[in-house]
Structure 1
Amino acid sequence: MKFYFMHLMPYADLDLSYDEKHDSAWVTLPNTYFDPKKGHQLYNRYLDELEYADQLGFDGICVNEHHSNAYGLMPIPGVMAGALARRTRNVRIAILGRALPLLNNPLTVAEEFAMVDNITGGRLIAGFVRGIGAEYHSWGVNPAFSHERFQEAHDLILQAWTQAGPSVFEGKHYHFEYVNVWPRVYQDNPHPPIWIPSQGSSETIEWAAHPDRKYTYLQTFASVSTVARYMKMYKEVAARHGYEATGDQLGWSLPLYVAETDEIARKEAKEHIEAFLQKFLRMPVEMLLPPGYTSVKSMVGALSAKAGHSMKQTIDSVIEEGKFICGGPATVREKLEEYQAEIGFGHLLTLLQFGTLPAELTRKNMEIYAKEVMPYLRNVTSGKAA
């Protein structure tokens, strides 16, 4: 199993009483809640944490894309990846991802990712997403074209990375006479690894598992039963196409907190994970899943995966569902080993900073996890995961 430190870069200084006036931390929350002086401090703190993960021996660090919200301050994750490219030496840098359907010119992603891949000497992991429904409100993009714009943008980027240029691309949404990206990607076998994060879209799983792609499917924040269901679906799609999916094609992203004992871990994490659940994740369903964004089948799945993303969720409820792992080192190791044996994922992406968790507790969490959890699980799962 491989271990990644994923950061959302939330606006941790958010006035948590915002919900007395506003119904969401996304799209409609006035940007007057953002203080640039505090933003300056947070961005640099968060970059320090990601760089520290390299020193602690993580396999990778992860940044991602969200717009117009307090939940994640990375509308352009390539800026963060570029800053990290020169300040890290060993970790892979996963951009999870760029929301392809939002873009008028996907070649900007082909160029941006190729630059990071060259600077790092091939440490880039390319993440492609459709983006959650809220992003379509923020960018004014019709969600009904989400799937076809995503797939067409993907095809254009792969053409730019794998075909000698200049070449021509003619699609329904994108037309280019000269596809000729400079620089070329550093990883050319045949391109950087591609990961597909999702909330649980059956169409996305079918597409990612197809033999033409065999991309790593990454299940984002969800109960362990939901993760098991969707990863089983991926394996079934692979089997239907005549091959066996490996752990390297399956990843899980979730928040985690480890401290000296179970009691200390719960006490230190409670305030901050509940702020994450009740304040930062808060949004109405119509914002998360706008009409046309997904099929009825996938909407049912996504609603199931996101059930409980409400003001009522507590540390106890998410621990019970397996959405949040919290405890002393022995408890965390036991839970992760149990879940990995059941599900078979090969990549574990942990949010070791979440909500309002301060810098000192984030570093403590990272250090105990790296020293007392990761080494043990590398040994016991190395033969199973990938």
Structure 2
Amino acid sequence: MKFVFFHLMPYPYLPDDFDTRYPSPSLTFPNRYFDRETGNRLYHRYLDELEHAERLGFDGIAVNEHHQTAYGLMPSPNIMAAALARRTSRAQIMVLGNAIGIRGNPLRVAEEIAMLDHLSNGRIVSGFVRGIGWEYFAHSINPTRSRDRFNEAHDLIIKAWTSDEMFQWISPNYEYRYVNLWPRPLQQPHPPIYIPGAGSTETMRFVAQRRYTYMSVYAPTRVVRRWFDGYRDSAAELGYEPDPEKIGLSIPIFVADTDAQAHREGRDQLMWLFHKGLKQGPELMNPPGYMSPSSMRGVLAAGMTPFPQLSYEDLLSGGYAVVGGPASVTARLRELRDELGFGQLIGLFAIGGLSHERTVRSMELFSTEVMSALRSDQPATTG
């Protein structure tokens, strides 16, 4: 199994009246609540944690992109990847990912990832995401164009990476008279590509057709199983079975010395993530036209409870997160692996306002006791 340390880089210091006064930490939440000195300290702390993850033996260290939100302070994940490229030497540096659907110039993404591939000596992983609904509002882009923009940007980037001759690109959303990428990526034909899915059948087929890695977003186990099965079904229709490592479970994880300590220290931070950080109404997550009718029917049929309505016990029993001492976390992850069939674990360890010291302790316990135990197991099966 492959283990990835994923960071959202949250800004957890919200006002006391946030719950009653503000509908979301995104888009319209006033930036006067961002304290410059605190933000400065957080960026350096978070980079320290990512670098420490490599020393602990994680296979990958991952960053991602979000805009105009306290949920995650990385409007440019490629800058964070560049900061990590020269301070690490072994782990894959995973951008999970660039929101190419909202980029006005996707060719710039192709250039930056190619540069990062060289700076990291071929360790870069390129994730592509469509961007969340509110981010289309933030960039004044009609969300009904999301899928087409994503597909066209993806195709342009892949061709730019793999073509050894100048070409012209004319499509409904992008126009380039000259495409002649300098530098080309170090990895050939291009860096590995990861794409998250949240129930869209189009995404499942898209990833299966190209044999990319499919990763989940935060959801209950029963829903993630539907997503992974949909991806496997799409692959089966194409005549192959994806390697378990091509399936990545994204999940918050907190480990302490004992179960009691883990629940005592982790409860409030997990509730921050799901009740405050993920306090996004449907109008922000899935505005009209963002998803196709068939995909929207699938999302509605899944019957997911809005995050702010879930209790701490709901989050743990439903498989949204894993919290406990090393033995309990190991056992729970084995259960999830055997049920879901993933071969890659993308763990979020810096949860909510969890202190740096507790985050590092959780990482270290996971590395020395949980990760080593899971690595010794047999490959995952779908049960």
| TMscore range, shorter length | over 0.9
TM-score, reference length from structure 1: 0.96
> Structure 1: any 5+ residue segments left out of the alignment?
none
Alpha carbons of structure 1 residues 122 and 303: separation in structure 2 relative to 1, 3 Å = farther
Count of residues paired in the alignment? 382
Matches within 5 A, 1:67-78: 67-78=67-78
SS of residue in 2 equivalent to 1:73: coil
Alpha carbons of structure 1 residues 98 and 353: separation in structure 2 relative to 1, 3 Å = same
| Mapped contact 2:24–2:279 kept (Cα < 8 A) | yes
SS of residue in 1 equivalent to 2:157: helix
Q: Say whether residues 1:326 and 2:323 are aligned partners.
A: yes
RMSD: 1.5
Tell me the equivalent position of 2:245: 248
SS of residue in 2 equivalent to 1:380: coil
Displacement of 1:19 in angstroms is 2.8
| Mapped contact 2:337–2:380 kept (Cα < 8 A) | no
SS of residue in 1 equivalent to 2:219: coil
Tell me the equivalent position of 1:270: 267
AA matched with 1:227: V
Q: Say whether residues 1:371 and 2:368 are aligned partners.
A: yes
Alpha carbons of structure 1 residues 82 and 334: separation in structure 2 relative to 1, 3 Å = same
Separation in 2 of the partners of 1:366 and 1:179? Answer: 43
Alpha carbons of structure 1 residues 70 and 303: separation in structure 2 relative to 1, 3 Å = farther
Q: Say whether residues 1:94 and 2:94 are aligned partners.
A: yes
Displacement of 1:183 in angstroms is 1.1
Alpha carbons of structure 1 residues 306 and 221: separation in structure 2 relative to 1, 3 Å = farther
Q: Say whether residues 1:13 and 2:13 are aligned partners.
A: yes
Q: Identity percentage over the alignment?
A: 46
TM-score, reference length from structure 2: 0.97
Matches within 5 A, 1:68-217: 68-188=68-188, 190-210=189-209, 213-217=210-214
Separation in 2 of the partners of 1:381 and 1:225? Answer: 23
| Mapped contact 2:253–2:348 kept (Cα < 8 A) | yes
Displacement of 1:312 in angstroms is 2.8
Displacement of 1:300 in angstroms is 3.7
Separation in 2 of the partners of 1:143 and 1:365? Answer: 38
Alpha carbons of structure 1 residues 75 and 306: separation in structure 2 relative to 1, 3 Å = farther
Tell me the equivalent position of 1:30: 30
CA distances 1:29-50 after superposition (whole Å, capped 9, x unpaired): 0111101110000000000000
Tell me the equivalent position of 1:342: 339
CA distances 1:219-264 after superposition (whole Å, capped 9, x unpaired): 1111111111111111111111111121122111010111112111
SS of residue in 1 equivalent to 2:28: coil
Displacement of 1:287 in angstroms is 1.0
Separation in 1 of the partners of 2:159 and 2:366? Answer: 40
Separation in 2 of the partners of 1:301 and 1:323? Answer: 19
